[in-house]
Amino acid sequence: MNQKSAFSSQTVLALVVMAVAAVCRYFKLGLDDQTVNDIAYLAIQAACSVWAFFAHARAEASQPTALTFFGMALQLAPHVQKVADDLSKAAPSSPTPAEPVDPSQPTPAGATTPSIGATAGALLLCLAMGLGLTGCAAKGITADQDFATTSYKAMSTAGIAYDAAMQTAGVMYGKGQITDAQRDKIIAYGNAFRGAYMLSQTALEQYVKLGSTDATLQAQAVQALADMVGRLGELKGYVDDITTATQGGK
């Protein structure tokens, strides 16, 4: 990792953590220190994994380094979903104001909503992806080829993660470790991901076919990719929960 890429990644980390802190303050989530720390940690993981995709595409990171971060990316989605679920449960009944992360900033008034947790989780990923894309653009890289390549790598990664999760679920179902109801839910999550994945593929194909640097087409593809990552998080989180429960019950 050279000095320039290290600086870029540090900048991304700082921005993501600051954004999380701002979200927590703004919505007055009433989070305890541990939860805030968890969110910051996950934000760092998110930034690292997304940075790896784009840094490797720019030849700023070696393959093993990118692979290391890729491992973190695979682990990230279910944890984000878990924190998002915790926030969804905690937010409506939070009796205390949020723990200020930065005392120098005022805490604006704001009401919480039950969906804010899930929104925060999705926001982390979208923000990290957006920052990564912005970083590429800022470096003057040919937009279409770089975007197509990095998006292809992201989709390949997601497809592999989906396949691994579904194969695990299939084996567990075959052993009777997953109920029919759980199987139906996994199938629903899986098909939701597959739908988002196909939309991303179509958006990316359109983008490459037109050979375009059109910002609208690129924005559509980014949106589709972000949705796909969110769906993958739901699926992997659910399968991981079942796997953990099964292992704990033995």
Partner 1 sequence: METAIIIEALELAAKVGVPAVQAAIAAFNKESVTLDDIKALKALVQPAESYFPANSASATKEA
Q: How far is the CB of 215 from partner 1 (least distance, A)?
A: 20
Q: Which of 83, 98, 148, 225 binds partner 1 (CB under 8 A)?
A: 148
Q: Shortest gap between Cβ of 156 and partner 1 (angstroms)?
A: 4
CB of residue 117 to partner 1, shortest distance in Å: 24
Residue 224 in contact with partner 1, rule: CB under 8 A: no
Q: Which of 19, 141, 143, 155 binds partner 1 (CB under 8 A)?
A: 155
Looking at residues 70 to 89 of the shown chain, list those that interact with partner 1 (rule: CB under 8 A): 70-71, 74
d(CA 150, CA 56): 9
For 179, phi then psi, to 5°, come to: -75, 165
Residues 6+ apart with CB under 8 A from 124: 16, 20, 39, 42, 43, 46, 80
Q: Would you say 99 or 214 has its CB closer to partner 1?
A: 214
* Nearer to partner 1 among residue 27 and residue 189 (C-beta): 189
Q: Is 220 one of the binding residues for partner 1 (CB under 8 A)?
A: no
In whole angstroms, give the CA distance from residue 160 to residue 153.
11
Residue from 35, 100, 152, 213 in contact with partner 1 (CB under 8 A)? 152
Nearer to partner 1, 145 or 244 (CB): 145
Dist CA 133 CA 18 (whole Å): 19
Q: How many CB atoms lie within 10 A of CB 82?
A: 17
Q: Report DSSP letters for 186-239, one per residue.
A: HHHHHHHHHHHHHHHHHHHHHHHHTT---HHHHHHHHHHHHHHHHHHHHHHHHH
d(CA 197, CA 191) in angstroms, rounded, equals: 9
Q: Least separation, in Å, of the C-beta of 145 and partner 1?
A: 6
**37 Cβ contact partners less than 8 Å away, ≥ 6 residues apart:** none
Query: For residue 202, what are its two tokens?
Result: 């179509």
* Residue 165 and residue 236 in contact, taking contact as beta carbons nearer than 8 Å: yes
| Helix (H/G/I), strand (E/B), else coil: 2 | coil
Nearer to partner 1, 95 or 176 (CB): 176
Binding segment toward partner 1, per CB under 8 A, in 40-48, 81-89, 97-105, 163-171: 163-171
Which of 194, 199, 214, 241 is the binder for partner 1 (CB under 8 A)? Answer: 194
Closer of 116 and 225 to partner 1 (Cβ): 225
Dmax over CA atoms of the chain, in Å, equals 56
Say whether residue 66 binds partner 1 (CB under 8 A): yes
Q: Which residues bind partner 1 (CB under 8 A)?
A: 56, 63-68, 70-71, 74, 145, 148-149, 152-153, 155-157, 159-164, 166-167, 169-170, 173-183, 186-191, 193-194, 197-198, 201, 204-205, 208-209
